[in-house]
Amino acid sequence: MSAGFAPAPWPRRLRSQDWYGGTSRDAIYHRGWLKNQGHPHDLFDGRPVIGILNTWSDLSPCNGHLRELAEKVKAGIWEAGGVPLEVPVFSASENTFRPTAMMYRNLAAMAVEETMRAQPIDGAVLLVGCDKTTPSLMMGAASTDIPSIVVTGGPMLNGWFRGERVGSGTHLWRFSEAVNAGGMSQADFLEAEQAMSRSSGSCNTMGTASTMASMAEALGMALSGNAAIPAVDARRRVMAQLSGRRIVQMVKDDLAPSHILTRAAFENAIRVNGAIGGSTNAVMHLLALAGRVGVDLTLADWDRLGRDVPTLVNLMPSGEYLMEEFFYAGGLPVVLRRLGEAGMLHRDALTVSGGPLWAEVKDAACWNDDVIRPPDRALTASGGIAVLTGNLAPRGAVVKPSAASAHLMRHRGRAVVFEDIDDYKARIADEDLDIDETCVMVLKNCGPRGYPGMSEVGNMGLPPKLLRRGVTDMIRISDARMSGTAYGTVVLHAAPEAAAGGPIAVVRDGDAIELDVDARRLHLDISEAELAERLARWRPPAAAPASGYARLFHDHVEGAETGADFDFLKGCRGREVPRDSH
Ligand code: FES
């Protein structure tokens, strides 16, 4: 055992017995109903009841294979002496949810938390995959502190088009820009569409889904090696079965999220994010998750811990390869070993295995040093997310150095301002737009409250007239997020957001903006008095929604700098049913 964890005594009475145990009228009522599924009476004798919280949905294609995977989880639970019960939960798919899946992460987390606490579940397998499903289920589980293990669905196989790897999302942006620049025909773009998603699974780049799968593993919430196994590889199903076996023992030991999700675990995950060239979205999700377990994680931690971390994983969007090759090269255990050897890992951090992280990864072999680079051949020497501050983002903004252009990391340019995403769409292709490659594009009102939901529009496409001239990158600044599959010198999450009256709201066309990533500085070059006067005259761009979930979201979502959780959902409320009338 690790980090001071002492397993609970076994046997003992589990919470599911509050529903199923004994001979009372209520126990007969609860058991009796479940028996209509054909369960023998002895299944209710006090053995662990495991909820398989499944984010399968036909409208979440990244998670479309999770019902089959659930069968392997069930097999593992039966083998270990538990009782598996599959439970569908809110599936916030990246593909379909509008205005953005991020608007529903907290709703999903809230639904999962209540689903777990309100029902006879002693432990949970979190069956996830697409971007928001992984953090939302971890957040919900963390707020109940019921033993839980993450099983991700795994990435899709490599896409291929005319001899070239096609990365999910990354090539959507590349091909789209090539069409806008006149270097690719629309017909070829449509043909490439067929090559993008050639198997079950989540995005095959180191986008947000792969990043969050890696975060779950680095945090210790998934079994070692889980993150990279392709969705259709038989070893993915083995992983599901082993995780089913493991959760039963976790329940017996009462190995709960609060034992695993410690500050050390979050620090490990932040460093791993730098080493894998992970998504900026991980910043939001880990801050929110930390808030659920009372770990005081801040943007400053992200900057401090990521500063010296080399990017080792050569995957799109920062590098060349895709998740399939990452798996063949040895996957995340190799990254963890290399970080541990470099003194960048809390080796004693506890995982769902019941032991220290280091025991799982210390012997991990690397089978391809070009895919998982040794530190002396890193893709980027300082690959962690950089956190910028300055009068343009007093509470912080982030940029991903491994996906940015070196020549733009220190730059002063003239602002070209778009008031919101509709303004951007209306004018970006205007041949008369007064813009060149030295300008700084600014997009407002796309933050948590402004969009609403904080959409992934921060990597706004460049003006077609500049693309045609061969311009491939420009500085873009917004209060939005960016897809983990995207790239460019893109400053995101500027806080406070425009819709909350942050300074980004009052930037005007022609203002000078200075970016200095090394100095962690983002500066709007106007006088303090001028900035104060503009802010005093600022008015909210739109009224709050009148009712419904949109109103709840508007009134309670916090800023990007703390992870955009709801203020009333922070913290762990435990596993006890607040008022049980039975
Ligand atoms: Fe679902 Fe990428 S869109 S994993």
Expressed in angstroms and rounded, the spacing between residue 277 Cα and the centre of ligand 1 is 17
Atom of ligand 1 nearest to the CA of 60: 1
Helix (H, G, I), strand (E, B) or coil at 512: strand
- C-alpha to C-alpha distance for 298 and 416, rounded to whole angstroms: 31
Nearest CA to ligand 1 atom 2: 203
Q: Which two structure tokens, joined as six digits, stand for 539?
A: 């008015």
From residue 360, alpha-carbon distances to 44, 214, 309, 318, 427 in Å are 34, 15, 21, 27, 53
Atom of ligand 1 nearest to the CA of 129: 4
Atom of ligand 1 nearest to the CA of 207: 2
Determine the residue of 66, 105, 134, 168 to mutate for testing ligand 1's pocket, defined as the one with the most ligand atoms within 8 A of the Cβ atom: 168
Tell me what pLDDT residue 522 has: 98
**What number of H helices and E strands is found in the chain?**
20, 14
Expressed in angstroms and rounded, the spacing between residue 101 Cα and the centre of ligand 1 is 11
Nearest CA to ligand 1 atom 1: 130
Tell me what pLDDT residue 140 has: 98
Atom of ligand 1 nearest to the CA of 61: 1
* Sign of the dihedral through C-alpha 32, 37, 40, 46: negative
Expressed in angstroms and rounded, the spacing between residue 21 Cα and the centre of ligand 1 is 41
Tell me what pLDDT residue 1 has: 44
- C-alpha to C-alpha distance for 116 and 489, rounded to whole angstroms: 41
Expressed in angstroms and rounded, the spacing between residue 130 Cα and the centre of ligand 1 is 5
DSSP string covering 339-353, please?
HHHTT-S-TT-B-TT
Helix (H, G, I), strand (E, B) or coil at 424: helix
Tell me what pLDDT residue 546 has: 95
Tell me what pLDDT residue 398 has: 98
Expressed in angstroms and rounded, the spacing between residue 440 Cα and the centre of ligand 1 is 29
Cis ω on the peptide bond leading into residue 11 (within 30° of 0)? yes
Instruction: Give me the residues paired with residue 164 across strands.
Output: 161
pLDDT along the chain (582 residues), means of 10: 80 98 96 95 96 97 97 98 98 93 98 98 98 98 98 97 92 90 93 91 96 98 98 98 98 98 98 96 98 98 96 95 98 98 98 98 98 96 93 97 92 98 97 98 98 96 94 97 91 98 98 97 98 97 93 98 98 89 56
Cα atoms in the Cβ-side hemisphere of radius 13 Å centred on 576: 5
Tell me what pLDDT residue 383 has: 86
Tell me what pLDDT residue 382 has: 87
Task: Spell out which residues line ligand 1, taking CB within 6 angstroms.
Answer: 62, 94-95, 130-131, 168, 202-203, 207, 209
Expressed in angstroms and rounded, the spacing between residue 131 Cα and the centre of ligand 1 is 6
Instruction: Give me the residues paired with residue 398 across strands.
Output: 387, 492
Residue type, 327: F
Helix (H) or strand (E) holding 54: strand 49-54
Q: Under a CB-based contact definition with an 8 Å cutoff, are residues 116 and 141 in contact? A: yes
Tell me what pLDDT residue 3 has: 54
Atom of ligand 1 nearest to the CA of 94: 3
Expressed in angstroms and rounded, the spacing between residue 528 Cα and the centre of ligand 1 is 43
Tell me what pLDDT residue 581 has: 56
Nearest residue to 355 via CA among 253, 229, 233, 495: 253
Nearest residue to 357 via CA among 339, 369, 371, 372: 339
Q: Is 307 exposed, middle or buried (0-12, 13-18, 19+ CB in 10 A)?
A: middle
Tell me what pLDDT residue 582 has: 57
Residue type, 267: E
Determine the residue of 105, 152, 166, 203 to mutate for testing ligand 1's pocket, defined as the one with the most ligand atoms within 8 A of the Cβ atom: 203
Instruction: Give me the residues paired with residue 397 across strands.
Output: 388
- What's this model's pTM, rounded to 2 decimal places? 0.97
Atom of ligand 1 nearest to the CA of 210: 4
Expressed in angstroms and rounded, the spacing between residue 202 Cα and the centre of ligand 1 is 5
Expressed in angstroms and rounded, the spacing between residue 62 Cα and the centre of ligand 1 is 6
Classify 220 in phi/psi space as left (phi over 0), alpha (psi -120 to 50) or beta: left
- C-alpha to C-alpha distance for 565 and 160, rounded to whole angstroms: 38
Nearest CA to ligand 1 atom 3: 94
